[in-house]
Chains A and B, each alone.
Chain A
Amino acid sequence: MKKSQKRSLTIIFSIISAVYVLPILIVFMNSFKANTSVKTETFKIPTGDSFVGFANYIKGATFGNYPFLQSVGNSFIITVISVALILVCTSMAAWYIARVGSLFSKIVYYLCIFSMIVPFQMVMFTLARTADDLGLNTPVTIPIIYLGFGAGLAVFMFVGFVKSIPLEIEEAAAIDGCGPIRTFFMVVLPMLKPTLISVGVLEIMWVWNDYLLPYLVLDRTKYMTIPIHIQFLRGSYGAVDLGAIMALITISIIPIIIFYLTCQKHIIKGVAAGAVKG
């Protein structure tokens, strides 16, 4: 390809990229505007009358009888506990499945693969009921549901990786008198690091953004998450200050962008690894 062609491609892509980030910039811009201006002059830069500074943020964080920051906190708690639980439990299960190879472990493995092709709507009604009966409807206990419903992909990815680790390393550890628990945590787990990161990224993106599962499972009068809170405010469309909602969306996007810019390499790698799961 000629140099001039390459240069024109760079220019074209710069323009497309600018258009691509525009929706996020528009949200950011509108979060500083008064309610009426969001609707009538969505694409104008806030000036003079329409500019309200950080008033939207203060309003957004406090209005309603459920503070938005509490939803942010719940989202954080649920994501952190769920992902930690999934990583520890499924990697242990995967090691057991890959190394023991009994009939039972094979059945568990194939059930996990099967669960990956089942859409959530198939189980949502009964799952919500089961979770309620067992008291798994708080931010601290809902991770058990996430572990159960998300086990499929995680176990599948871990088993694939464990199978590629040579047995000799673990045998050497066993000969040196290392029990299975120590072997797993001191020898196997460090070797699983790349897969831990990939699975971790996929699960973080899933749990953080998930709407329907927590909406149906959590006790809604007491606990909301960011997606639930935003959808809840949308239900009262028109009655709610649009500028304030834009401020809330900005607050909820900022952690994602920070997460993305700091772990970009791992995220792209993890996503690609999850996609080729067939």
Chain B
Amino acid sequence: MKLKRDAAALNSKLLRRPIQKCFILFLIPTFGAFIIGFIYPFLQGIYLSFCKFITTRNATFIGIDNYKTALTDSTFLHAFWYTALFAIVSLLLINILAFAIAYALTREIKGSNLFRTVFFMPNLIGGIVLGYIWSMIFDGVLSRYNTSILLESKYGFWGLIILMCWQQIGYMMIIYIAGIQSVPEDMIEAARIDGASGWQTLIKVVIPSVMPSITICTFLTLTNSFKLFDQNLALTGGSPFEFKSDGTIIKTTEMLALNIYNTFYGSNTAARGTAQAKAVIFFVLVATISIIQLRATRNKEVQQ
């Protein structure tokens, strides 16, 4: 299929030549902005991760010291494990709930369109506003027990889980609904005629057929959790803090992206090289997850 398409494109000199002449009009605006907005900052970022700098202009090359500092930084490691734990819990909760809702809403029940509309809505509200809304609600509840979401790290953790469930269940539900609706009706019918119970049909027929949707949603929730910033900043901003005997301050609910941000723009400007090294490590981590996702979804498509 691909070969045929390429051959067709090559044959169409009729189109190719004139378009190529308009190179400056068609490609340069996007490509120019792409260099400014992505390629140059990216390459400079990699270079600066090997440098000591306060502003980008006066950088001195120091080798891999920044990476050593980053990987032994206890706040960074804490943020990593905290993020990983958060990712796993939110992945399980969001996907199970979203699938259950999607499965129920495809049973032709009354009002399912309205329910769909409602569940998807929080997805449109931005992270900062979401964080503010939920911090007011959590504090409204917790103030009755004379405490606050900022005072206990377990409140911060579960608060953020609830917030993310509220925001993302609707999104994942849409993908699951599309997956479930593409399962052929006669396959389910055949299972029923063979005497399968509703539960058996779900486990043995529906779930195997929606595996591609499950892969997509799993990785989406995973990368979303790893890249989470706005919600984390707005809900707790890292509070409560834990003061260690060696002088380091661990922000107990701080996730990776926020940790990098705080290292960059904190009071210690000498740590900017470390921050950039952390950012590179973070990029490698997120990119690895995304590449595995790409592979996994491709393989699933081949099997079908």
- Which residues of A line the B interface, CB within 8 A? 1, 6-7, 9-10, 13-14, 16-17, 20-21, 23-24, 26-27, 30, 38-40, 42-43, 89-90, 92-93, 95-102, 105, 108, 111-112, 115-127, 129-131, 134, 136, 144-149, 151-152, 155, 163, 167, 170-171, 174-175, 179-181, 184, 205, 208-212, 226-227, 230-231, 234, 242, 245-246, 249, 252-253, 256-257, 259-260, 264, 267-268, 271-272, 275-276, 278
The complex places the Cα of A30 from the Cα of B48 at a distance, in Å, of: 47
- Let me know if B38 and A211 touch, CB within 8 A: no
Assess whether B86 is interfacial by the CB under 8 Å rule. no
Taking the complex as formed, is B121 at the interface, i.e. its CB lies under 8 A from any CB of chain A? Answer: yes
Q: Hey, which bits of chain B sit against chain A, CB under 8 A?
A: 5-6, 8-10, 12, 14-16, 18-23, 25-27, 29-31, 33-42, 44-45, 48, 55-56, 104-105, 107-112, 114-129, 132-134, 136-137, 139-141, 143, 166, 171, 174-175, 178, 198, 216, 219-220, 226-227, 229-230, 233-234, 257, 260-261, 264, 272, 275-276, 279-280, 282-283, 286-287, 290-291, 293-294, 297-298
Tell me whether B279 and A122 are in contact (CB under 8 A): yes
Bound CA span A145–B33, Å: 7
Q: Which residues of B contact A89 (CB under 8 A)?
A: 29-30, 33
CA distance A205 to B216 in the complex (A): 20
Shortest Cβ-Cβ A-B pairs, 3 listed = A148-B37, A42-B140, A209-B126
Q: Using CB atoms, name the residue of chain A closest to B300.
A: A278
Interface residues of A, dominant DSSP: helix
Decide: B41 and A127 in contact? CB cutoff 8 A: yes
Q: With A and B bound together, what is the CA distance between A90 and B171 in angstroms?
A: 26
The docked-state distance in angstroms from the alpha carbon of A66 to that of B244 is 40
Question: Are A20 and B30 in contact, CB atoms less than 8 angstroms apart?
Answer: no
Residues from chain A with Cβ under 8 Å of B107 in the complex: 1, 6, 9
Bound-complex Cα distance A212 to B261 (A): 10
Which residue of chain A has the shortest Cβ distance to B288 in the bound complex? A117
- Measured between beta carbons, the chain A residues less than 8 angstroms from B33 are 89, 144-145, 147-148, 151
Q: Are B293 and A278 interface neighbours, CB within 8 A?
A: yes
Contacting residue for A271 out of B48, B174, B290, CB 8 A: B174
Q: Find chain A residues with CB under 8 A from B38 CB.
A: 111, 115, 118, 123, 148-149, 151-152
Cα(A108)–Cα(B139), bound, Å: 49
In the complex, what's the smallest C-beta–C-beta distance from A232 to chain B, in angstroms?
10
A-B contact pairs, 19 of them (CB 8 A): A9-B109, A20-B166, A27-B133, A42-B139, A101-B6, A101-B9, A108-B27, A118-B38, A119-B257, A120-B229, A121-B257, A121-B283, A123-B45, A125-B276, A149-B38, A167-B15, A174-B18, A180-B21, A211-B127
- The one of B18, B116, B126 that contacts A227, using a Cβ cutoff of 8 Å: B126
B137 and A26 form a contact (CB under 8 A): yes
- A256 and B26 in contact, given A125-B275, A151-B37, A180-B19 (Cβ under 8 angstroms): no
Q: Given the complex of chains A and B, what is the CA–CA distance between A257 and B124 in angstroms? A: 8
Cross-chain contact B282 with A122 (CB below 8 angstroms): yes
CA distance A205 to B105 in the complex (A): 25
Q: In the bound complex, how far is the Cα of B17 from the Cα of A179, in angstroms?
A: 11
Q: Is the CB of A230 within 8 A of B143?
A: no
CB of A230 within 8 A of CB of B128, answer yes
Task: Indicate which residue in B15, B30, B55, B112 contacts A170 across the interface (CB closer than 8 Å).
Answer: B15
Contact of B110 among A10, A17, A227, A253 (CB under 8 A): A10
CA distance A252 to B129 in the complex (A): 9
Contact of A17 among B115, B127, B175, B264 (CB under 8 A): B115
Sample of 12 further A-B pairs with CB below 8 A, known A92-B30, A118-B42, A145-B33: A1-B107, A13-B104, A13-B111, A39-B143, A93-B31, A101-B16, A127-B37, A144-B37, A146-B37, A147-B30, A171-B15, A275-B220
Contact A163 B124 (CB under 8 A): no
Q: How distant is the Cα of A73 from the Cα of B132 in the complex, in angstroms? A: 21
- Chain B residue at minimal CB-CB distance from A20: B118
* Cα separation A272 to B16 with both chains bound (whole Å): 32
**What is the bound-complex CA distance between A115 and B290, given in angstroms?**
12
